Amino acid sequence: MAQNIDYTVASPEAIESELGQKLERLRLSKNINQTMLAKEAGVSRRTITRVENGEGISLDTLIRVMRALGVIDGLATLLPDPTTRPVERIKLGGHERKRARTKKTSDADAWTWESESGE
What is the C-alpha separation between 42 and 66, in angstroms, rounded? 11
- x-marked contacts with DNA along 30-69 as a string, rule CB under 7 A: ---xxx------xxxxxx-xx-xx-xxxx-xx--------
Q: Report the residue from 93, 110, 112, 114 that binds DNA according to the rule CB under 7 A.
A: 93
Write the CB contacts of 74 (distance below 8 Å, at least 6 apart in sequence).
66
Write the CB contacts of 52 (distance below 8 Å, at least 6 apart in sequence).
20, 21, 23, 24, 27, 34
| 3-class state of residue 97 by DSSP | coil
52 lines the binding site for a second copy (CB under 8 A): no
Q: Report the residue from 95, 105, 108, 118 that binds a second copy according to the rule CB under 8 A.
A: 118
Shortest CB 59 distance to a second copy, Å: 5
56 lines the binding site for a second copy (CB under 8 A): yes
